[in-house]
């Protein structure tokens, strides 16, 4: 008993060290920009860089749009599949998994062929069109995670009975969706949203090949040309991700104690 507990602790320490030591190394390196002393010069350099603010703001906006439009696509789809065509579920699940096996570069080249300036729908012909295309591509990339998060949340409630109860009380389809279904799958929507945020903030291929000023290509650019700033950016990116995860845990923890509102 005592031996197995020591073994478990050793496993935890080794596992934690595997993740923490490189991070500590990165953090430590990011603080050594000024020779001989620890400083936050690298962070100051990053935060004062107008490109950082521009790309970070741009990617945050893209993430927000991806979350909103992604949820408007995924929640009604998952709901409809559960309610009306449950036999289609394996097919829909397979389709949502495709972005995991089709490389982003293949998808983006497909976009470039389909929506170039000489096509019927020349989305790449202007910045707004390309931004729309980028949001679509982010929705595609996050689909495997978002669909599963929402579908799992739907499994926790009896979608069919709630729908029928609302219908018998005179509710229309939109009322059912926004008053009865969305609030009750909010935990899935939130976890999907945070995963989407993390994906969008770090995505490089789509943004670079569509030539958009996103945070992913900026990270790559800084990494290729500077020494300490990339480490600072990595720490910042980790912090953002952790904050997202922490927020997710906080919200889902609060939701375990209280219902969705």
Partner 1 sequence: MSFLALNNIQKSFGPVQVVQNFNMNIEKGEFISFLGPSGCGKTTVLRMIAGFETPTGGTLYINGKDQRPLKPNQRNIGMVFQAYALFPNMTVYDNVAFGMKVAGAPKAETDSRVKEMLGLIKLDHLADRYPYQMSGGQQQRVALARALAVKPQVLLLDEPLSALDAKIRVSLREEIRAIQRQLGITTVFVTHDQEEALSISDRIVVMNAGKADQIGTPFEIYNTPATRFVASFVGTLNLIEAEVIDPASNCIRIGDQDITLKQSLASYNGGDKVSLALRPEAGSLSEGIKSDTALTGQVVSAHFLGSVIRTRMDVGGNVISFDMFNSPGVTPPVAGETVTLRFMAADLLVIRD
- For partner 1, the binding residues (CB under 8 A) are 157-158, 161-162, 164-172, 175, 179-180, 183-184, 186, 258-261
Of 61 and 260, nearer to partner 1 (C-beta) is 260
First to last CA, the chain: 45
DSSP the chain: -HHHHHHHHHHHHHHHHHHHHHHHHHHHHHT--STTS--SHHHHHHHH-HHHHHHHHHHHHHHHHHHHHHHHHHHHHHHHHHHT-GGGHHHHHHHHHHHHHS-HHHHHHHHHHHSSTTSSS-GGGSHHHHHHHHHHHHHHHHHHHHHHHHHHHHHTS-HHHHHHHHHHTT--HHHIIIIIIGGGGHHHHHHHHHHHHHHHHH--HHHHHTT---HHHHHHHHHHH-SSHHHHHHHHHHHHHHHHHHHHHHHHHHHHHS---
Least distance to partner 1 from the beta carbon of 68, Å? 20
Of 104 and 185, nearer to partner 1 (C-beta) is 185
Least distance to partner 1 from the beta carbon of 174, Å? 11
Least distance to partner 1 from the beta carbon of 173, Å? 9
Least distance to partner 1 from the beta carbon of 70, Å? 22
Of 62 and 181, nearer to partner 1 (C-beta) is 181
Least distance to partner 1 from the beta carbon of 183, Å? 4
Of 139 and 180, nearer to partner 1 (C-beta) is 180
Least distance to partner 1 from the beta carbon of 176, Å? 9
Of 36 and 170, nearer to partner 1 (C-beta) is 170
Of 50 and 170, nearer to partner 1 (C-beta) is 170
């Amino acid at each position: 008993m005592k031996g197995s507990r020591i073994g478990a602790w050793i496993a935890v320490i080794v596992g934690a060290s595997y993740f923490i030591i490189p991070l500590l190394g990165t953090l430590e390196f990011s603080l050594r920009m000024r020779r001989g002393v620890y400083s936050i010069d690298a962070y100051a350099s990053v935060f004062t860089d107008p490109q950082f603010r521009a790309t970070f703001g741009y990617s945050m906006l893209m993430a927000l749009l991806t979350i909103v439009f992604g949820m408007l696509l995924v929640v009604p789809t998952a709901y409809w599949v559960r309610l009306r065509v449950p036999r289609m579920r394996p097919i829909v699940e397979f389709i949502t998994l495709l972005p995991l096996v089709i490389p982003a570069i293949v998808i983006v080249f497909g976009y470039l062929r389909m929506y170039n300036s000489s096509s019927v729908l020349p989305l790449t012909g202007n910045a707004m069109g390309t931004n729309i295309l980028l949001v679509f591509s982010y929705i595609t990339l996050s689909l495997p995670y978002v669909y599963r998060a929402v579908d799992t949340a739907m499994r926790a409630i009896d979608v069919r009975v709630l729908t029928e109860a609302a219908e018998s009380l005179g509710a229309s389809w939109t009322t059912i969706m926004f008053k009865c279904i969305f609030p009750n799958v909010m935990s899935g929507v939130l976890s999907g949203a945070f995963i989407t945020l993390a994906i969008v903030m770090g995505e490089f291929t789509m943004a670079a090949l569509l030539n958009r000023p996103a945070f992913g290509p900026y990270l790559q650019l800084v990494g290729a040309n500077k020494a300490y700033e990339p480490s600072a950016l990595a720490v910042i990116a980790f912090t953002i991700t952790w904050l997202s995860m922490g927020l997710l845990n906080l919200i889902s923890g609060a939701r375990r104690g209280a219902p969705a509102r």
